[in-house]
Structure 1
Amino acid sequence: MLTGLATDVGRKLAERWAAAVVLPGLVFTALAAAGMTLGQRHWSDLDLLRHRLRALTADGSGSTRTAVLLLGVLAASFAAGLLADALTGPYERALMGSWPGPLGRVAGALTERRRRLWDARDRACREAREARELGPLEAARNDVALVRPQCPTWAGDRLRAPAARIRLEYRLELADAWPRLWLLLPDSTRQPLIESRQRLDEAMRLGGWAVLYLLLGAVWWPGAVAGAGAALVAWRRGRERAEEYAELVESAVDVHLPELYERFDGESRPVRAGLGPAVTERFRKGAGARRG
C-alpha cells in the first residue's frame, strides 16, 4: 500500500514538474535557438533556419550529432526552467510591492497616491446618508483596497488585507495564529487553500518566463513581444489568484477560529475580540512581535 502511494505521489510530482519546467523550457529553448540564429535582421527567415538546422546533421556522423544535440536541448531546457523559477521570486516581490532600495521612493509615492484616493473614497462612504448611495461608494473604495493601502500595488495590499482585517475584527495576529490554525483545518478546507496557493505560484512562475522572453528580445524582437504578452497575462492572473487566495485565508479564519480558541483558551462561541491579544501572546511565548 505504501509503495503504491509513493509511486502515485512520485508520478504526480513528475507530471507537475514536467508541466511547469520541462515543457515551457523546451518551447523557450527552441525559440531562443531560432532567435539567436536569425537575429534581428532576419527575424522571420525560415529558409535560413532550415539551412542551419540541416547543417548540424549534414555529415556522416549525423545520428551521433543529433543525439548530442537532443541532449543539449534537454539540458538547456532544464536550465531555462531553473532560471525561470529563480526569476519567479523577484517577479512576485515586484507584483506584491516589495521593491528594492533604488525604487523605494517610487514605491512610497505610489503608496501615498493610493492612500489619498482610498481616504477620499472612504470619507465619501462615511458621509453617505442613504444605503443606496453607500453600496456603490464602498465598491469604489474597495476597488482601491479593502483596507488603507500600505503597498504600491493592488495585489500586495490584497494579500496583506486578511492580516489587517483579522487584527481589526478579532485583535488577533494572523502571522502567529495561522500555523496553529492550519494544523486544525479539515482536509475540505486545506485542499482549496493548497490548490489556490499553487495557482498563485503558477501565475508568478509565468512572470518568470515573461522576464526570460523579454531578455530574448535583445537579440530577437519577437521574443520581447511574447514576453510582453506573457507579462500581461501573468499580471492579470496574479491579481485574480491573489484575490482568491486572500479570500480563502480570511474565510478559513472566520469559520475555524472558534476551534482554535477552544483548543488554546477553552472557549469557542461566541468569538470575543478580547481573547485575541491573550491568545496572540500565548503563541508568541514572550518572544514579542514577529518580524518580516
Structure 2
Amino acid sequence: MVSFLTEAGKRVAARWFTQILLPGLLLAVIAVSGWVLGHAHAFDVDRLASAAERGAGRKPVRLAVEVAVVVVGAGVAGTLARGLGTGVRRFWLRERALLAPRLRRARAVEAAKKRGTEPVAAYLPARPTWLSDRLRLVEVRVRAQYWFSAALAWPRIWLLTSEEFHAPVRNARARFDDACALAGWAVLYLVVGVLWWPAVVVAVVAFVVAWRRARVSLEEFATLVEAAIDVRWRDLAEALGIAVQGESPTPAEGALIDDRLRKGS
C-alpha cells in the first residue's frame, strides 16, 4: 500500500511539473521579457540582455525572493490555464447557439450530393461546433441502429469491457483534455500579447494546434465508444435480463432496454 501511494505521488508530481510548472515558467519568462521589451522593441536582444545583467547584480536575498515569486506565479498560471481549458472544453462541446450551423450543414449536403447519396437529416450538423456534433452523432447513430440511448448504455458497457479496452479510451480522453488545456494556455498568451505583440502569434498558433488535437482525439474517443456499443450491446442486454433473438434489437426490444436503463422514468 505504501509503495502504491509513493508511486502515485511520484506520477502526480511529475505530471504537475511537466504540465503546469514548466509551461508556467515559460509563460512567466515571456511575460517578463515582454514587459522589458514592449511593442516598440519586440526583438531587441541587447535591451533584454541589459535588463538581465541588472537583475543578476541584485542582492542574493532579493533575487531569491523574486525567483520564488516567479515560481509561484508559474504554478498559479498553470492552474489557471487548466481552469481556462475546462471553460474552453465546455464552450467547444456546448449544445446550443444563437445561430444554427448553416454553413456546415450546407457543406455536408453538398458533399452528400457529390457522392450521389441522400443526406440523412438526423446526421447533418445541428450543434455550434464540430466537436459537439461528433458526440451527438454517437447518440443519434446508436439510437437509429439499436433503439436505445448511447449516453445511458455507455457506463454499463464500460463495466462490461476489459482493461485492455479501457486504456485507449482513457488515452484518447486524456489527449482531448490536454488539447483543451493548451487552448487555455493560448488564452493566457493572448493576455501577454497586451505587453508584447509576438505573444499574440504564439497564442494563435497554440489555439490552432489545440483545436486540431482536440478534433483528432475526440474523433478517436467517439469511435471507440461507438465501437464498444456495437460489439457489446448484446452483453448489455443479457446483463439486463433482456433476450434479443435477432441480429440487432427490434424497436420494441430497444425500447425495453432503454426503459430498463432509465429505470422506467
TM-score with structure 1 length normalisation?
A: 0.82
- Which residue of the partner structure matches residue 131 of structure 1? none
Cα distance in 2 for partners of 1:235, 1:92 equals 10
Q: 2:256 aligns with which of 264, 278, 291?
A: 278
Cα offsets for 1:104-137 (capped at 9, x unmatched): 33x32xx123223333444565xx4xxxxxxxx6
Shift of 1:244: 1.0
Conserved? CA contact 1:265–1:279, under 8 Å:
no
- Which residue of the partner structure matches residue 290 of structure 1? none
- Which residue of the partner structure matches residue 171 of structure 2? 195
- Give me the CA root mean square deviation: 2.4
Cα distance in 2 for partners of 1:229, 1:120 equals 30
Q: How does 1:22-101 map to 2 (within 5 A)?
A: 22-59=21-58, 62-96=59-93, 98=95
Conserved? CA contact 1:210–1:227, under 8 Å:
yes
Identity %: 35
- Give the letter for the 1:155 counterpart: L
TM-score with structure 2 length normalisation?
A: 0.90
- Secondary structure of 1:227 counterpart: helix
- Secondary structure of 2:264 counterpart: coil
Cα distance in 1 for partners of 2:86, 2:177 equals 10
Shift of 1:97: 5.1
Structure 2 residues not aligned, in runs of 5+: none
Conserved? CA contact 2:134–2:219, under 8 Å:
yes
Conserved? CA contact 1:146–1:158, under 8 Å:
no
- Alignment pair present for 1:265 and 2:241: yes
Q: 2:182 aligns with which of 188, 196, 206?
A: 206
Cα offsets for 1:208-261 (capped at 9, x unmatched): 111111121111001001111111111111111111111111111112222111
- Alignment pair present for 1:181 and 2:166: no
- Alignment pair present for 1:112 and 2:102: yes
- Give the letter for the 2:249 counterpart: R
Shift of 1:57: 4.2
Shift of 1:96: 3.4
- Secondary structure of 1:175 counterpart: helix
Shift of 1:271: 3.7
Cα distance in 2 for partners of 1:48, 1:118 equals 53
Shift of 1:54: 2.9
- Give the letter for the 1:185 counterpart: T
Q: Which runs of 4+ in 1 moved over 6 A?
A: none
- Secondary structure of 1:250 counterpart: helix
- Which residue of the partner structure matches residue 160 of structure 1? 136
Shift of 1:153: 2.3
Cα distance in 1 for partners of 2:161, 2:199 equals 45
Aligned residue pairs total 263
Shift of 1:202: 0.8
